[in-house]
Chains A and B, each alone.
Chain A
Amino acid sequence: MEHPQTNVNAQITPHYRGMTDDQCRLIHRASLEILERTGVLLYYQPAVDLLKKAGCYVEENRVRIPAHLVEWALRAAPSHIRLYDRSGKPALQLGDRISNFGTGSDCLHILDHRTNERRDALCQDIVDGIRVADAMPHIDFIMSMFLPSDAPDAADVRQMEGMLNYSAKPICFVTYEWEGTAEIIDMLEVVAGGAEQLQARPTAILYINPTSGFRHNEEALRKLMYVAEKHLPCVYWPEVGRGLTCPITFAGAMACSNAGHLAGLVIAQLVNEGAPVALCTAVPFSLDMKTMVVPYVDPDCKAFGLEMSHYYNLPAFNWGGMSDSKLLDEQAIMEATLSLFVATINGGNLIHDVGYMESGLMGSLELVVICDEIISWLKASMQGLEINEETLALDVIHEHALSGDFLGAEHTLRHVREDWQPRLIDRHNYEQWMAGGGTSMRERARAKIDEILGAEPRHILPPDIEKRIRTITERVIAASGGISLKD
């Protein structure tokens, strides 16, 4: 800078907050009171024993956690989790207000892009879903999308096999029972080259879903303690429903949700100080109190509770790109767009469920492809403004303004590629659009899917590793008494 200037603040990204620090503090204080006074029920004795030893007040399986222990756990937990791709390169940073996007898991149905019909999901749909998600430049991590009706036994192990085989992206995964969890982590270790390698460069994060903020079931706790012991990342999200398992009013609901998450955080930190845990701290869900359906998209915005994660400086799990609609219609696109926007502007780190429909019961590959475009648009719109000599371009203005010709300016050429470019959105004039087939966005999404699935599947693992993964899968299937998959 030729002439120094002081006191210029630049806002390099848009700025938004859903809650103030003082409000966060009130929720935090309420959660501490809940944990210390009301406590939680833990249905797993080793977890109860662990907390008792750490100084909690225990009556049978009711555990009341003192505030100092919670605040110790908050200090002990890492503020960031880094996930790696299959080649060992850093891929995702979970923390601060950095947003990463991915699909969801275990939809029972698929909206088949070929027939536009809703049908039971099959094993093949898992593979197709992974391949499509893998090909999307803005889908940052993958989940298995479907629960296959043709192979319900050991489906979680089959899902992991598919994800490892067909995508190099980081994985967020669910295991059903306790059984199979260790084997699935074995598979990840095989691919990473060993347990230590996986620990140093985790490629996947386990999503654990305990029953509620106040009731933590055995399997969820076992999984939490297992991954904490191995220092592998997990998401711990007790579901807390407004008016069901907590007060209907938002503040109380947030305090309960937060308390449930913090209970999980304390357990993980007691197992292994520094265990990487992503929470969704103060995000209760709402129900339609007429139908008891849990709407996935909702203006009562689950998302501003993410402020608590930011307040705690912890990685935040969240949702986006989904819909309650049964059709891929106006509602679906509206809800997918708004949910992605709200999750992003609130700074969700691990925004999952892209492509979910029918309140989480159906998945759509077309919606995944359309969301990829929405995410791309959002990424561009979240870029801040850069003001400097080059971007102000006063000399260029002076040279070209009066002639009215910036098109031929060297400066224009230099920056012409910086603007966002659509992949799926159409911005041609009418004649150009007609000449290109006059297609709808959905038709273009469908064509993209056909193109991806029509190509030869990309096997990303070396054959010997793929074989070792297969052996583990076969072993678990055999143990579960299920039928083997066709190769």
Chain B
Amino acid sequence: MADMVQRIAKKLYQGDIEAVGELVQDALDAGMAPGEVLKDALLAGMDEVGRDFKEGVLFVPEVLFAARAMHAGMDLLRPLLADSEIASSGKCVLGTVKGDLHDIGKNLVTMMLEGGGFEAIDLGIDLEPGTFVDAVREHKPDVVGMSALLTTTMLQMKATIEALEEAGLRDSVKIMIGGAPVTAAFAVQIGADAYAPDAATAVEMARELMA
């Protein structure tokens, strides 16, 4: 079994979507518990991916394919897992703020969060503050992630936080922001809870915010 776990983790690291699907099925057929496959093979594999990404060993497209391989495995496990086993690290809603159509950074963070065991809901791009407010009402997330690539749209983050305050929802969530022009000082200035300079750190930050 240990061998099986290692093979899944290795194929996941290599981003081999098909192989991960097959191996997860093999592991289940061999009688391995779905919860074990998830924890020891998939999540452990993604941890290694996250670590090596942060170390500068892996390139972003390689991480993307690893995350997709994890999803391929998850798709097989999900119907078999008890709710308690699925219990994610936390729930995040993410989006790019109003006026900004950039989505690559936000997509990457979504993907890495999912890889890190979070349930991540991607709200899209060019989002009015009200859209974030509605999403918080609907999904009751632990973390709200906002992205902006432009110096001109980053101020919309402030507007969104204010909208959450007005709706009385600010204290129900932690707010994490990121994007090329965004800084830790800016996060403090607009009253966000955390700033992540890159997608791998975003996962660590989200974990810290959950703690």
Binding site for B on A (CB under 8 A): 43, 106, 108, 120, 147, 152, 176-177, 211-212, 215, 217, 219, 241, 243-245, 289-292, 294, 361
CB atoms of A290 and B56 under 8 A apart: yes
Q: Which residue of chain B is the closest to A178 with respect to CB atoms?
A: B99
B101 & A217 in contact (Cβ 8 Å cutoff): yes
Q: List 17 A-B contacts (CB under 8 A).
A: A106-B151, A108-B181, A108-B183, A147-B151, A211-B101, A211-B102, A212-B101, A215-B101, A217-B126, A245-B104, A289-B60, A290-B53, A290-B59, A292-B105, A292-B108, A292-B199, A361-B180
Q: Which residues of B are found within 8 Å of A291, using beta-carbon distances?
A: 56, 198
Docked Cα-Cα span, A120 to B102, in Å, equals: 25
Q: In whole angstroms, how far apart are the Cα atoms of A292 and B61 in the complex? A: 11
B61 contacts A243, C-beta separation under 8 Å = yes
Complexed CA–CA distance, A292 and B111 (Å): 14
Residue with the greatest number of chain A CB neighbours at <10 A, chosen from B126, B152, B181: B152
Is chain B's interface secondary structure helix, strand, loop, or mixed overall?
loop
- The answer to whether A292 and B198 touch (CB under 8 A), given A176-B152, A177-B152, A241-B104, is yes
Interface residues of B in 170-204 (CB under 8 A from A): 180-181, 183, 185, 198-199
Residue B87, interface by CB 8 Å: no
Q: Indicate if B163 sits at the interface (CB-CB under 8 A).
A: no
5 other A-B residue contacts (CB within 8 Å) besides A290-B60, A292-B199: A211-B101, A243-B61, A244-B104, A291-B56, A361-B181
Whether A177 and B101, one on each chain, are in contact in the complex, defined by CB atoms closer than 8 angstroms, is no
What residues on B are CB-neighbors of A108 within 8 Å? 151, 181, 183
Interface presence of B58 (CB below 8 A): yes
Known A-B contacts A243-B61, A289-B60; the reply to A43 vs B181 at CB < 8 A is: no
**How far, in whole Å, are A178 and B117 apart by their CA atoms in the complex?**
41
Q: How far is the CB of A47 from chain B (nearest CB, A)?
A: 15
Q: Please, which residues of chain A bring their CB within 8 A of the CB of B108? A: 292
Task: Kindly supply a per-residue 1/0 record for chain B positions 44-75, scoring 1 wherever the CB is within 8 Å of any chain A CB and 0 otherwise.
Answer: 00000000010010111100000000000000
Q: Which of A152, A177, A361 contacts B99 (CB 8 A)?
A: A177
B155 on the A face (CB < 8 A): yes
Please give me the residue from chain A that is nearest to B183 by CB atom.
Answer: A108
Inter-chain CA distance A212–B108, complex, in Å, is: 18
Closest 10 CB pairs of A and B: A176-B152, A211-B101, A289-B59, A289-B60, A290-B56, A244-B104, A217-B101, A215-B101, A147-B151, A290-B59
